[in-house]
Amino acid sequence: MKLKRSSLLYIGNQLNSSVKGTVTTLDTLSNLLRTEGFMVLTASSKENKLMRLIDMLYTVFTKASRVSVVLLDTYSTQNFYYAVAVGNLCRLLRKPYIPILHGGNLPNRLKRSPSQAKKLFHGAKMNVAPSLYLMEAFQKEGINNLVHIPNSIEIKDYPFLLRKEIKPRLLWVRSFAEIYNPMLALQTLKLLKSKYPEASLTMVGPDKDGSLQKCKDYSDQNNLGVEFTGKLTKAEWIKISAENDIFINTTNFDNMPVSVIEAMALGLPVVSTNVGGLPFLINHDNDGVIVEPNDPELFEKAIINLLQNPQKGEYLSNNARKKAESYSWDQIKHLWLDLLRE
């Protein structure tokens, strides 16, 4: 039986139940912490952005006295200002808070909003950096109240399938947004089909900014036959993964994407852009392949290399699973327990 631990308040995006939402760190981490005996209050699930901010602030104001610390998901884009506002309120209430750093573009946010960033991050009890990439970037800006706690998965939920025979069946899993450059996946498929007409691409995820329709139009115009599944549950896309052999990650900015760790756990050889925290996550040619961003020819070359060298695919598949196992909750939870008992 788990010991009853302290109560926490976790502030972040909780829109997984909406049409556009995907399961967020707030959803997964709060549930995992509950399994360790914590009582975790959360906010906010409001879809309207202004109402979401108001709900976050109201929840902090009314619940802060009941919790020992506030966990605060912190991103680089518009949601950064949610974190700034919540951080300001926590300091006013003298309630310790811990930003959890997300988004490969946060280092640029430190430069674009130095005054707000300094107050938010220096005023925190601690800042959690899921990747060594963000850890180094923040330290360079003089922010040293940092701890490295990687994103985690429940490894038992990901059945391993060793890829002994690699076929040109590509899988992409992400929200459709320009920052994740989904069009690069289609451009890569177009090149690949000239040499492998049977090549296929399945793209899983909801639309964020109109990118999905652009991708559908491109697929139709070029007769690519891409399968767009829309938003799927974790179990649904894991089932689809068994029908594919190569996972492609096309993003222009990133931190430590859980989707890549999940693909590695499933035994999918990963071909990813060399941006943000990805070179810290993927050991090139050992447990994945990294290439420069915005270059479909490099993606095509890396994929063809896997198709022509099945032993390499098998090697990457095995090593990827081993890497993913190091990010299992059983391994990572001790870092959270140490932080939250301080």
Sequence spans of domains, the chain: 7-152+329-340, 155-325
Give the pLDDT confidence score for residue 290 in this predicted structure.
Answer: 97
One fold for 7-152+329-340 and 155-325: yes
Give the pLDDT confidence score for residue 8 in this predicted structure.
Answer: 96
Q: Can you list the pairs that 128-132 forms with residues at least 24 positions away whose Cβ atoms lie under 8 Å?
A: 128/98, 128/99, 128/100, 128/101, 128/339, 129/101, 130/100, 130/101, 130/102, 130/255, 130/256, 130/277, 131/255, 131/256, 131/276, 131/277, 131/280, 131/281, 132/277, 132/280
Could you give the CA distance from residue 67 to residue 123 in angstroms, rounded to a whole number? Answer: 18
DSSP state of 180: G
Q: Give pLDDT tens digits along the chain (342 positions).
A: 344 568 999 999 887 544 444 567 888 899 999 999 999 999 999 989 999 999 999 999 999 999 999 999 999 888 899 999 999 999 999 999 999 999 888 999 999 999 999 999 999 999 999 999 999 999 999 999 999 999 999 999 999 999 988 999 999 999 999 999 999 999 999 999 999 999 999 999 999 999 999 999 999 999 999 999 999 998 999 999 999 999 999 999 888 899 999 999 999 999 999 999 999 999 999 999 999 999 999 999 999 999 999 999 999 999 999 999 999 999 999 999 999 986
Instruction: Please count the other Cβ atoms lying within 10 Å of the Cβ belonging to residue 279.
Output: 16
Please return the burial class of 337, using the count of CB atoms within 10 Å of its CB with bins 0-12, 13-18 and 19+. Answer: middle
Helix axes 80-92, 114-122, angle to 10 degrees: 50
Give the pLDDT confidence score for residue 144 in this predicted structure.
Answer: 96
pTM as predicted: 0.88
Give the pLDDT confidence score for residue 55 in this predicted structure.
Answer: 96
Residue 36: CA atoms inside 13 Å, Cβ hemisphere, count?
22
What is 7-152+329-340's CATH superfamily? Glycogen Phosphorylase B; (3.40.50.2000)
Please return the burial class of 7, using the count of CB atoms within 10 Å of its CB with bins 0-12, 13-18 and 19+. Answer: middle
Range 155-325 has CATH code 3.30.200.20:
no
Give the pLDDT confidence score for residue 23 in this predicted structure.
Answer: 65
Give the pLDDT confidence score for residue 16 in this predicted structure.
Answer: 59
Could you give the CA distance from residue 291 to residue 149 in angstroms, rounded to a whole number? Answer: 26
